[in-house]
A and B are shown apart, each in its own frame.
Chain A
Amino acid sequence: MVRFLARRLVSSLLMVVIVASAALLLATASPGDYVATAGGIGANQQRMARERVRLNLDRPPAVLYLSWLAGAVRLDFGTSLLYQRPVGALVAQRAANSTLLAAAALIIAALLGLPLGVFTGSRPTGLAPSIVRGASVLCLSVPPLIASILLLALAAMTGIFPTGGMTSLASPADGWSWWLRDLAWHVPVPAMAVGLPLAATLERVQSQALADALAEPCMTAALARGVSRRRLLWRHAWPLSAKPVTAVLGLIAGALLSGSFAVELVTAWPGLGRLTYDALGARDIYLAAACASAAAAFLAVGILGSDLLLAIVDPRVTIAPPARGPTAP
């Protein structure tokens, strides 16, 4: 187990470095740069040249990359060109906000998607399962951007939830309990926008997996032995269907960040998605690299979590390396 975790950690680290390097090199190689974007059309060329020297952007891409890599080894990921602050602190702050949103969305997805998947998977026909399936298809079809705007419009119309943002204007002196309640009031709209398509995905996967499990001969045998339908569903079929759902859940957790990209923009959630958008828009190469590495780290954690969960739900799955030696013919 320890060897497995160590190996996974090393490969995750490698993935983060590769993704960050690729982001930095691509951002450097693409036409234009931070200085040109900030200056716009008509900016003074001499001034722009001075700025490039000041920000070391006049160096060749290879030199720029090696210098960044040397800093990254010391956990110094550079200074944001746009915000003139160390990118490490900027990304850490926004990643925490994104993690909060992702966790809330994952909870919504799991709480809605799994029970509904069991419901539709155990009832192949009927009006209610058809409505749930239809709603799932609808949630999967609507892009997160549109879903966010629709939910915001609903929030604006009803006034139940705020139309975006993470906190209210009231002073922080109002105390922690007030702040937590305020945060809880702001989370549902963006979390629903991110979570509903994921819930629909889980519902579809769970439904299919459960239907497959119920079709196994062992289920017929259990019914023949007099096991009640409810016990059969929850005690026998559901655990059997958990394997594909767990695998998808892990991938979903890892990909939550990219899913929340548009939602964060529309709902003014101060997360990593917005920071990435700002970094790419401004050609802030250091910030873009750091955001990309944070996204890769999210994905790595999601995949690792998925592997561990899979091992828990299915004892046949081994996380040890495959045994070497002669294989059976």
Chain B
Amino acid sequence: MIGRRRIVLGIVAMVIVAAAVAFWRTRRLPAGAPGSTATSHRGGTLIATLRSEPPTFNRYSGNTYATALVNDLTQAPLVRINQLTQAVEPWLADRWTRSADGRQYTLHLREDVVFSDGHPFTADDVAFSFNAAYDAKTASVLGDALKVGEQPLSVSTTSPHEVVVTFPQMYGPGLRLLDNLPIYPKHRLAAALAAGTLATAWGTSTPPNEVAGLGPFVLTRYEPAVRLVFERNPHYWRVDAGGQPLPYLDRIAMEIVPDQNAELLRLQAGQIDLLQDDLRPEDYVPLKREADAGRVRLMDVGTGLDMHVLWFNLGPPASADTHRAWLQRAEFRRGLSHAVDRRVFARTVYLGAAEPSWGLVSPANTVWYSAGADRPDYDPDRARALFASIGLRDRNADGQLESESGVPVRFTVLIVKGVGASEKGAAFLRAALARLGVTLDVVALDLSSVVGRWTAGDYDAIYNFLLTDPDPAANLDLWLSSGSSHVWNPRQAQPATPWERDIDNVMARQAGTIDPAERRRLFEQVQRTIAEHLPAMSFAIPHVYVATSTRVASFTPALKRPQVLWNADEVSVIASGAR
């Protein structure tokens, strides 16, 4: 009898707990969540996350994502790349003209623009910013990216609102280069530049009110390892189509959340509005459920622009390895490419949220992607034939291929530890190659060790994420054999192979012309050469998903990070409960 009473009491207690949980959950549902409008509301706070805090607020000395994001919110360049169209659009410079030889641009600066501290913006600030970027003592992280043919741009001021920028040679991307350069206030930082201390200026111990800028927000609070708070810049110069001053938001708070699981939980709990990092494939299903229930908004922005790439060591130390000369052969790389079923790869590694890929340019890069380049698809028989053509056969019927000298066909791929896509992708490649008798050893190291091994040329292959600019001429470091990012054999004094010499020549012409059609034609040629020799290859490009709370009303997500905050001044939130 007592036992039955206990059971009944237990059931009642469980029902009460379940009801309480259900009540809390429903209480958290935002009103009218599924029907959020795309109209822009003025005011409110957007709460986003950052995986790590910025080491500095100074974009001239910091190249982390966090520093770049702080810069995007608080500073402004002369021209901006529209992340949706990839077109260069006026920003602090409202118009410009190009000289007949295509090397000189005269930029007219917006008048009546002031920094967040009320100081007028003039051409002197532009000249100061270029000087800072090229200053030897500052050794700015922006300096190299602002050079063409390793030469700096020449900048002169002709009036308080006009600057002339001269390129050392004809440069295809033209003013696109200037999107990288935030215009910093000369009146605040000239003394630091003169003293040679600009690199350490605007560190995280700087009081936020000393960081002035031309961006839509100003940094008002920094709590180390906790959050950054940005308030609307009262002097911001942009207005919307209806003449309303921008930004719409009163405030953006960046909560520093190092763990991605915790970040997701916060979004699901309605405590944040926006995730900064790309969603992992395994996060899609739970978030889709939340989205279907109207608790979050999940958007598939499309196939990404960047991807994981497998490249081989084609540098001098590796080419001296006579026992494994096959590692240097294009036939081996082509065979490997045929060995991988990219559709299954996309389904397995990215749980279907990816598209098969082959080269180093994403189909999402509609301006530059060449559909005509060869795409060695899944064909195990062709792979075996290619391996056999360079003497790789199973000579002792043990299921393992051996080279002509009897050495088993085995090589190592380095990946960065803790990166899910790298680990899963490398495991898939290992299994795919094992079926053909090739042993792939996957070695996971921390980033620093992978960089060290790559720099020393001490590796067989690396499978890693490759981040590139959509415009190929902005990635000359990758395409040119002399480039430091020519990952398979960097910094060559002379091109090691005829096909690399060809690419060097074509890319030099591609970067040196301003005719868009000619540039496209030349880059198609480069993609065909790469597809033929396959020094590096990709297997799948993941889709880019953006997850926000339903409070976020108007935003236009892009494929590149920061997907939502790239145009932070136009993002708005629906007013709701206290934040």
- A residues bordering B, Cβ < 8 Å? 30-33, 36-45, 47, 50-51, 54, 82-85, 90, 93-94, 148-149, 152-153, 155-160, 162-167, 169, 265-268, 270, 274-275, 277-278, 281, 283
Contact = CB atoms under 8 A, between A and B. Distances in A.
19 contacts: A30-B449, A32-B449, A33-B448, A36-B455, A37-B448, A41-B450, A42-B487, A82-B55, A84-B56, A84-B204, A152-B265, A153-B265, A159-B27, A164-B257, A165-B255, A169-B45, A169-B227, A169-B229, A281-B446
Contact of A274 (B141, B203, B258): B258
B484 A43 contact: yes
B258 A41 contact: no
B262 A32 contact: no
A54 B139 contact: yes
B27 A51 contact: no
Interface centre among B258, B454, B487 (most CB of A within 10 A): B258
A268 B257 contact: yes
B71 interface: no
A278 B256 CA distance: 13
B139 A50 contact: yes
A51 B446 contact: no
B4 interface: no
Contacts of B478: 42
B212 interface: no
Given A45-B455, A155-B269, A156-B265, A283 B491 contact: no
Nearest to B485: A42
Given A37-B447, A44-B484, A149 B21 contact: no
B502 interface: no
Contacts of A155: 265, 269
Contacts of A163: 262, 265-266, 269, 271
Interface centre among A32, A39, A275 (most CB of B within 10 A): A32
A154 to B, nearest CB: 10
Contacts of B437: none
A93 B64 CA distance: 23
B262 A157 contact: no
A36 to B, nearest CB: 4
A37 B447 CA distance: 6
Given A38-B63, A42-B485, A275-B225, A157 B266 contact: no
B101 interface: no
Given A83-B56, A163-B265, 19 more contacts: A32-B450, A33-B452, A36-B455, A37-B447, A38-B64, A50-B139, A84-B55, A156-B265, A157-B25, A158-B20, A158-B24, A164-B266, A166-B226, A169-B47, A169-B227, A265-B259, A266-B259, A268-B257, A268-B259
Contacts of B259: 265-266, 268
Q: Which 10 A-B pairs have the closest CB atoms?
A: A32-B448, A42-B485, A270-B225, A156-B269, A32-B452, A37-B448, A36-B451, A156-B265, A31-B452, A266-B259
Contacts of A277: 258
A162 B268 CA distance: 12
A265 B259 CA distance: 6
Given A45-B484, A83-B204, A278-B52, A167 B448 contact: no
B487 A152 contact: no
B32 interface: no
Contacts of B61: 84
B434 to A, nearest CB: 27
B327 interface: no
Interface string B247-265: 0000001011111011001
Interface of B: 20-21, 24-25, 27-28, 45, 47, 52, 55-56, 61, 63-64, 139, 141, 144, 200, 203-205, 223-227, 229, 253, 255-259, 261-262, 265-266, 268-269, 271, 446-455, 462, 464, 477-478, 484-485, 487, 490-491, 579
Contacts of B454: 41
Contact of A157 (B24, B55, B448): B24
B56 A47 contact: no
Of B52, B253, B451, most A-chain CB atoms within 10 Å = B451
A31 B454 CA distance: 11
B448 A36 contact: yes
Contacts of A169: 45, 47, 227, 229, 253, 255, 579
A90 B53 CA distance: 13
A31 B484 contact: no
Contacts of B484: 42-45
A58 to B, nearest CB: 14
Contacts of B455: 36, 45
Contacts of A43: 451, 484
A268 B453 contact: no
Contacts, number: 148
Contacts of B224: 90, 93, 270
A32 B451 contact: yes
Given A167-B226, A270-B226, A157 B21 contact: yes
Most buried by A among B25, B455, B464, B579: B455
Contact of A165 (B205, B226, B448): B226
Contacts of A266: 259, 261-262
Contacts of B47: 169
B449 A152 contact: no
A86 to B, nearest CB: 9
B345 to A, nearest CB: 22
A32 B446 contact: yes
Given A156-B265, A163-B266, A164-B257, A94 B225 contact: yes
A281 B445 CA distance: 12
A85 B204 contact: yes
B164 to A, nearest CB: 28
B257 A83 contact: no
Contacts of B258: 265, 268, 274, 277
Contacts of B253: 169
A169 B271 CA distance: 11
A151 to B, nearest CB: 10
Contacts of A153: 265
Contacts of B20: 158
B481 to A, nearest CB: 14
Contact of A162 (B227, B271, B453): B271
Nearest to A44: B484
A166 B55 CA distance: 20
A285 B200 CA distance: 19
A135 to B, nearest CB: 17
Contacts of A84: 55-56, 61, 200, 203-204
B448 A149 contact: no
Contacts of B21: 157-158
Contacts of A162: 271
Contacts of A37: 447-448, 451
A177 B92 CA distance: 45
B443 to A, nearest CB: 12
A270 B258 CA distance: 10
B144 A44 contact: yes
B226 to A, nearest CB: 5
B220 to A, nearest CB: 10
A42 B269 contact: no
A78 to B, nearest CB: 15
B204 to A, nearest CB: 6
A43 B477 CA distance: 9
A85 B56 CA distance: 10
Contacts of A281: 446-447
Contacts of B485: 41-42
A166 B203 CA distance: 23
A165 B253 CA distance: 13
B317 to A, nearest CB: 16
B425 to A, nearest CB: 16
Contact of B203 (A36, A85, A156, A164): A85
Contacts of B63: 38
B436 to A, nearest CB: 28
Contacts of A159: 24, 27-28, 269
A107 to B, nearest CB: 23
